[in-house]
Amino acid sequence: MEAQKAEKNTIRFGSARLTVSRTFCYIVLAFLTVLCLFSFYMLAINATRQHGAIMTGFSWLPGKSFLFNAKNLFEDTNIPTLRAMANSLFVAGSCAILTTYFSAMTAYGLHAYQFRFKQAAFLFIMLVMMVPYQVSTLGFIELATKMGMMDTYWPLILPKIAAPIVFFFMKQYMESVLPLEIVEAARVDGSNEFHTFNRIVLPMIKPAIAVQAIFAFVENWNNYFIPALIINTNDKKTIPILIAQLRSADYMKFDLGKVYMLVFIAIIPVMIVYIFLSKFIIKGVTMGSLKG
């Protein structure tokens, strides 16, 4: 009897401890969620207020100037918002497609083939990953100038084909979900390498592609440093350049309501991409981190 009572007390104590731990975790997660979403809430609130109201301090309630700020923004001929949105969509979308496709192809090559310098090639790509792109910016700009690519989108898109970080993620993911027996079976059936990669491998690594597509799209959508050095024509500027241009305007003409409205509009495509592809994030990261 005493042993049974002791066992029951142990079970109750363990259950109570588990409940407390779970409750504490929920509280911490809720706090972190509120902390992360507060900046978006503040952005949405300030997008509905005029410059004078924003200067007086933060308000928990939205204002009545959302349409007023939107009208001021879209009627400003010096700030081609819709054109910049289209430019950013083109650049970010192209970079996301090229980065994921060619990184997956490179990872497939190192995963499915056996050749003499395979390990050396992998180490070289990893070393490239350690070099920050700011270090090579001066040489990159000089090269783009000599090739006549200044004030074009080519220097923003073509270099994204080589993405060591994306390659590393894809390779780790393939090692988890892509047995070489499948590739060998496709070869035996007469499938050529491109057909095997496009029709068999890509569908199997779809979660990883979706995850990296989100990251690549967001990174290039928010990229300001390189586009600011490459793009000079007003109609070719991207959203981050316009935001910086509007933020650094003359103090007498500076309008915080317009700035918040532009930033608010700029995050909408990112949110849409995330909503459509977010279901793959947990699946992709989880499967890519486990080796079956």
pLDDT score at 58: 81
Do 210 and 263 fall into the same domain?
Answer: yes
In a domain, 62, yes or no: no
Do 79 and 208 fall into the same domain?
Answer: yes
Do 257 and 177 fall into the same domain?
Answer: yes
In a domain, 186, yes or no: yes
pLDDT score at 270: 86
Tell me how many domains the chain contains.
2
Do 217 and 152 fall into the same domain?
Answer: yes
Do 36 and 74 fall into the same domain?
Answer: no
In a domain, 60, yes or no: no
According to DSSP, residue 64 is labeled S
Of 279, 104, 276, the residue nearest 177 (C-alpha): 104
pLDDT score at 291: 44
pLDDT score at 290: 45
pLDDT score at 252: 59
Query: What gap in Å lies between CA 216 and CA 76, rounded to an integer?
Result: 30
Do 17 and 158 fall into the same domain?
Answer: no
Q: Which domain holds residue 39?
A: 2-46
- Cα 23–chain centre separation: 32
In order, the DSSP letters of 82-135 are HHHHHHHHHHHHHHHHHHHHHHHHHHHHHHH---TTHHHHHHHHHHHHTS-TTT
CATH of the domain at 245: 1.10.3720.10
In a domain, 285, yes or no: yes
In a domain, 266, yes or no: yes
pLDDT score at 162: 86
Do 94 and 234 fall into the same domain?
Answer: yes
Of 113, 102, 92, the residue nearest 170 (C-alpha): 102
pLDDT score at 176: 85
Q: What is the pLDDT along the chain (292 residues), one digit of tens a residue?
A: 555 555 555 666 556 677 778 888 889 999 998 888 888 899 889 889 888 888 888 888 888 888 998 888 888 888 888 999 999 999 999 999 999 999 999 999 998 888 888 889 899 988 888 887 777 888 889 999 999 999 999 999 999 898 899 999 999 889 888 888 888 888 888 888 888 999 999 988 888 898 899 889 999 999 998 999 999 898 899 999 988 887 765 555 677 888 889 999 999 888 888 887 777 666 655 554 444 4
In a domain, 61, yes or no: no
pLDDT score at 288: 45
Q: Is residue 45 within 8 Å of residue 30, measured between CB atoms?
A: no
Query: What length is written for the chain?
Result: 292
Do 92 and 7 fall into the same domain?
Answer: no
pLDDT score at 292: 42
The token pair that represents 105 in the structure block: 């192809």
Do 25 and 88 fall into the same domain?
Answer: no
Do 39 and 75 fall into the same domain?
Answer: no
Do 75 and 42 fall into the same domain?
Answer: no
Do 42 and 78 fall into the same domain?
Answer: no
In a domain, 58, yes or no: no
In a domain, 34, yes or no: yes
